[in-house]
Structure 1
Amino acid sequence: MAQENTTLKKALTPLHLWGIGVGLVISGEYFGWNYGWSVAGTVGLLIATIIITVLYFTFIFSFTELTTSIPKAGGPFSYAMKAFGPIGAFIAGYATLIEFLFATPAIALALGNYVHFLHPQLPVMTVAVVSYFLFTGINLLGIKEAACFSLIMTILAILELLIFMGITLPHFESKNFMTDAMSFGWKGVFAALPFAIWLYVCLEGIAMVAEEVKGGKRTIARGYSSAMITLAVLAIGVMFAVGGTAPWHQLDHLDYPLPESIGIVLGRNNQWTKIFAGIGLFGLIASFHGIIIGYSRQIFALARDGYLPKIFGKVSSKRQVPYWALLLGGLIGLFSLKYLKTDQLVIMATVGAVVMYIVSMLGLFKLRKVAPEMERPYKAPFYPIFPAIALILSIIALVAMMVSYGKICVIFFIGLGILLLIFYLTGKYKNIHPMD
């Protein structure tokens, strides 16, 4: 690491991007979303999921315009810089960091619970902490190595979900799925929105590795679209497969609903149940590993452009990875494990996500107006309808979370307000000179 620079290695293909994109999100199919049953019931969460699926389809196909036009490691931060300047970039960068940094410990806790399900003698927290050390280390090996590992884990995770649906769907019972299906009414649907978002959250992390893509900007668009379609099919399939095995009251509070569902169908002590729970770790590992890639590149970009100390923008000369950014993100994640529960981490991450979505869609409209000459290798389809739908649904989701989970939202916005005030009063925003 003697000679350091701020240039990332270009090594990613469309298949790598698909693997990173699906891998970032696929743990959402394994846990987290089922907490939505406790506030909405099965049908209530299903309606929320349909709404959020529309949000993500319109958002991703609009967001791809920004990613291909401004292929920077900072992703939303870089787009907001172009559209709104340093203050807007600060808000987008903060929201994105919250999304990624709090999603990771949630997955670490789920990893701990899955391993504890298999081996009760292993404490959940110990497994979560070891996971941080192990996968941060893998990311330090280099982006191509990290992406290949993510691709392998993602393929195994998809195969497992298909096997899971093949085992459980033949045992689907409508009476299970329809038990207290919407007893919380429409209020429950809105309360369930963050758990529906969890099925797709962090997909935009593909943007974080945009500088490391080879083969042109069309590669990014192909990676986004294929990942989105894959995840939508898996999300709906898994929801029906789990919901049909037992009334949701038995499954809404668990970090391991899929192994529990298999246990209900085959028997908890059945050898196949244990095998399934074991390979179920692949989906969690894929997301955990992929999100580490995402938050390290966001920290790197913020430091490179002067928002964080420059040391976090350094890249090792041999592996060309932002090693200080990786270490900082891991430290924050370990701290979060101690003080927050899984559902709280999920909500905090999704609040960050929708704030970033709002800023990004506003930025898309702004850039279309003030920079019509900007090169756009990919344009949002059905403009302005798609970005408008994404923007409106994101605002609705944010309002719903503020009503249902006010305390967590207050913490998010107080943190943003304090840091933004410091950023403004110190005059640091005047010295920001983003890289071209």
Structure 2
Amino acid sequence: MAKDTLKVSGVKYTTADQGYFEKRRLTRTAGVWGLWGLAVAAVISGDFSGWNFGIDFAGFGGMLIAFAILVVMYYGLIFSIGEMASAMPHTGGAYSFSRAAMGPWGGFVTGLAETIEYVATTAVIVYFSAAYADSITAELLGFSMPAWVWWIVLYLVFIALNSAGASISFKFAIVVSIISIAILLVFSAMAIFSGAFSWDKLYDIAPDAGASAFLPHGVFPILFALPFAMWFFLGIEELPLAAEESHNPVRDIPRAGLWARGTLIVTGLLVLVLNTGVIGAEATGVAGEPLLDGFRAIVGDGAAAVLALFALIGLLASLQGIMFAYGRNMYSLSRAGYYPRFLSLTGKRQTPYVALFAGGLIGFIALVVVDAAGGATGVAGAIVLNIAVWGAVLAYLLQMVSFVILRRKYPNAKRPYRSPWGVGGAVTAAVIAALIFVGFLLNPTFLPAIIAIIVVYVVMLAIFALWGRHRLVLSPEEEYAVSGGLHGDPQAEGYGGAVEQELLAADGVDDAGGAADPVGGSGAS
């Protein structure tokens, strides 16, 4: 018997096999504090390293301005995401929002940007975690391993952790977030009360001719500092990916986003000001491990291994949080058929273990290839970091465009939470994201990352055009879009079943839920 099919906007949906969604279940285990822990854990490593390279471009003053600009962008972004997530409480996140607003191609482009962001960010954290771990074992235990061996160990351990169950993941996120925040607070207290902090050190970069100590290289380099300032917040936007594992996603995702955002603003400011004021702006701008250098400046090198362990805890917190994100992102795109469907299998633990392993394998291969190309210069971390930020910026921009479109396209859709900044907040966030995007294009340092992403997009779009768009499934994200916002809440309606049959059997339907689209067409067979 032929499967029912539905053709909409140049793609084709077919009925899923019996038991399809039962093999792709997630478990609701997270409350507001579990979500807070997930968001903070995903981001907190950015306080330990990565952010500081922006000071080399723009000085302390330029970095402070970049930080303020990004606070505005992330408020607009998280408010807007909170509204869309409350209307679409399923795992798709950014892909789901753009799918509803801009059709299957828009959803795929946005979802792929998030895949690139999270897989690359995980690889960056693995890269730096391996360096810290090897220095610790060399100092305390007298043994060292090649970087690639550490990469394998870290990936396997954290894939196992994330596959062990959502409840374990959320509890781990809370614990490591609290420990990481405690480490940052201890550093802050030591910096203030030890006398190591000096306001003069914030401005020790020699200004260019005609420039000031506050902006030693002028105003324009602030644009180049913005991608590095993102490290203070990058990853917080993953919260909607936990929608199907949250007890009350409509209430708790916006609330957790608010608390996590406030937490990260405080910790980011403490690190930006105090870390720079301890070791100096010039040294901070080129430091590979700025927080560790700050500890060393206060207590000396005698406890270097212990201090490195502190920094490693922050990195491992983010490794768990971001790995959770790429697992759910790939799971949702696979469940809908954009990626190979087997990637969304969840197993007895009801976690997307196949997607977690696949994302880890891709990240490991990327590190090996990029590091081999960089040779002794060890540029893998920097290049993959730039890939991660570029993917994030593209995803941010497309999500804010989606927010504006959805306000107009689905004016009567249920929105239990509404952004207090509304369309203006989304437009502001989009403009800032676009500026960062332009900064990438203007800075030759980012050229390898841009080339790598272009290659990925060309390959993936070709695969989707030739194969993927003919094999889509009416997952909750797709049901919401195809029904015009009437279906798609798995907590209330379940997965597939009657809702899927209703949409597939419709005699005429388009992406807005009305009459048949004369361009895309519709039909059942």
Q: Tell me the residue number matched to 2:126.
A: 108
Output the CA distance in 1 between the equivalents of 2:150 and 2:353: 23
User: Greater helix share, 1 or 2?
Assistant: 1
1:162 corresponds to 2:185: yes
* Distance change in 2, residues 1:43/1:323 (3 Å): same
Residue 4 of structure 1 and its aligned partner are, at CA, apart by 6.1
* Distance change in 2, residues 1:71/1:255 (3 Å): farther
1:406 corresponds to 2:447: yes
Q: 1:334 aligns with which of 351, 359, 364?
A: 364
Q: Structure 1 unaligned runs (5+)?
A: none
Residue 124 of structure 1 and its aligned partner are, at CA, apart by 6.5
Q: Tell me the residue number matched to 2:269.
A: 236
Output the CA distance in 2 between the equivalents of 1:169 and 1:348: 36
Letter in 1 for 2:456: G
User: Which stretch shifts more, 166-175 or 286-295?
Assistant: 166-175
Residue 80 of structure 1 and its aligned partner are, at CA, apart by 1.0
Residue 278 of structure 1 and its aligned partner are, at CA, apart by 1.7
* Distance change in 2, residues 1:71/1:258 (3 Å): same
Q: Tell me the residue number matched to 2:411.
A: 372
Letter in 1 for 2:325: G
Output the CA distance in 2 between the equivalents of 1:202 and 1:396: 19
The answer on whether the counterparts of 2:383 and 2:448 sit within 8 Å (CA) in structure 1 is: no
TM-score by length of 1: 0.94
The answer on whether the counterparts of 2:243 and 2:249 sit within 8 Å (CA) in structure 1 is: no
Letter in 2 for 1:246: I
The answer on whether the counterparts of 1:195 and 1:346 sit within 8 Å (CA) in structure 2 is: no
Q: Tell me the residue number matched to 1:324.
A: 354
The answer on whether the counterparts of 2:89 and 2:249 sit within 8 Å (CA) in structure 1 is: no
The Cα offsets for residues 325-356 of structure 1, whole Å up to 9 and x where unpaired, read as 01101101111222332222221111111111
Q: 1:83 aligns with which of 97, 101, 125?
A: 101
The within-5 A match list for 1:387-406 is: 387-404=426-443, 405-406=446-447
Letter in 2 for 1:292: M
User: Which stretch shifts more, 27-36 or 338-347?
Assistant: 338-347
The answer on whether the counterparts of 2:203 and 2:281 sit within 8 Å (CA) in structure 1 is: no
Q: 1:29 aligns with which of 39, 47, 53?
A: 47
1:299 corresponds to 2:330: yes
**SS of equivalent residue, structure 1 residue 384:** helix
Q: Tell me the residue number matched to 1:435.
A: 475
Q: Structure 2 unaligned runs (5+)?
A: 1-20, 206-213, 371-379, 477-525
Q: Tell me the residue number matched to 2:35.
A: 17
Output the CA distance in 2 between the equivalents of 1:124 and 1:427: 40
Residue 252 of structure 1 and its aligned partner are, at CA, apart by 3.1
Q: 2:460 aligns with which of 419, 427, 433?
A: 419
Letter in 2 for 1:93: G
Output the CA distance in 2 between the equivalents of 1:149 and 1:255: 27
Letter in 2 for 1:290: G
* Distance change in 2, residues 1:35/1:122 (3 Å): farther
Residue 7 of structure 1 and its aligned partner are, at CA, apart by 1.6
Q: 1:211 aligns with which of 244, 247, 257?
A: 244
The Cα offsets for residues 338-388 of structure 1, whole Å up to 9 and x where unpaired, read as 233222222111111111111111111111101111111111113121111
1:221 corresponds to 2:254: yes
1:57 corresponds to 2:75: yes
The Cα offsets for residues 138-183 of structure 1, whole Å up to 9 and x where unpaired, read as 1111111111111111111111111111111342112211011533
User: Which stretch shifts more, 42-51 or 130-139?
Assistant: 42-51
Output the CA distance in 2 between the equivalents of 1:339 and 1:169: 43
The answer on whether the counterparts of 1:37 and 1:248 sit within 8 Å (CA) in structure 2 is: yes
TM-score by length of 2: 0.79
Q: 1:70 aligns with which of 82, 88, 96?
A: 88
Q: Tell me the residue number matched to 1:257.
A: 290
Output the CA distance in 2 between the equivalents of 1:281 and 1:305: 36
Residue 40 of structure 1 and its aligned partner are, at CA, apart by 2.0
**SS of equivalent residue, structure 1 residue 255:** coil
The answer on whether the counterparts of 1:114 and 1:255 sit within 8 Å (CA) in structure 2 is: no
Rg larger in structure: 2
**CA RMSD in angstroms, aligned pairs only:** 1.8
Residue 216 of structure 1 and its aligned partner are, at CA, apart by 4.7
The answer on whether the counterparts of 2:76 and 2:421 sit within 8 Å (CA) in structure 1 is: no
The Cα offsets for residues 215-240 of structure 1, whole Å up to 9 and x where unpaired, read as 35101111111001100111111011
* Distance change in 2, residues 1:428/1:134 (3 Å): closer
Q: Tell me the residue number matched to 2:308.
A: 277
Q: Percent identity?
A: 29
* Distance change in 2, residues 1:12/1:329 (3 Å): same
The alignment covers a number of residue pairs equal to 430
Residue 430 of structure 1 and its aligned partner are, at CA, apart by 4.8
Q: 2:175 aligns with which of 152, 164, 167?
A: 152
Output the CA distance in 2 between the equivalents of 1:359 and 1:71: 19
Output the CA distance in 1 between the equivalents of 2:105 and 2:83: 22
The answer on whether the counterparts of 1:109 and 1:124 sit within 8 Å (CA) in structure 2 is: no
Q: Tell me the residue number matched to 1:183.
A: 216
Letter in 2 for 1:401: F
Output the CA distance in 2 between the equivalents of 1:22 and 1:5: 30
The answer on whether the counterparts of 2:83 and 2:416 sit within 8 Å (CA) in structure 1 is: yes
Residue 27 of structure 1 and its aligned partner are, at CA, apart by 0.5
The within-5 A match list for 1:346-385 is: 346-385=385-424
Q: Tell me the residue number matched to 2:144.
A: 122
Residue 427 of structure 1 and its aligned partner are, at CA, apart by 6.0
**SS of equivalent residue, structure 2 residue 220:** helix
User: Which stretch shifts more, 44-53 or 387-396?
Assistant: 44-53
1:196 corresponds to 2:214: no
The Cα offsets for residues 372-424 of structure 1, whole Å up to 9 and x where unpaired, read as 11111111113121111111111111111111123422332342233223422
Q: 1:40 aligns with which of 58, 75, 97?
A: 58
Letter in 2 for 1:28: G
Output the CA distance in 2 between the equivalents of 1:276 and 1:253: 19
Residue 38 of structure 1 and its aligned partner are, at CA, apart by 2.4
Output the CA distance in 2 between the equivalents of 1:286 and 1:197: 17
Output the CA distance in 2 between the equivalents of 1:237 and 1:263: 17
The answer on whether the counterparts of 1:4 and 1:314 sit within 8 Å (CA) in structure 2 is: no
Output the CA distance in 2 between the equivalents of 1:123 and 1:194: 32
User: Which stretch shifts more, 295-304 or 30-39?
Assistant: 30-39
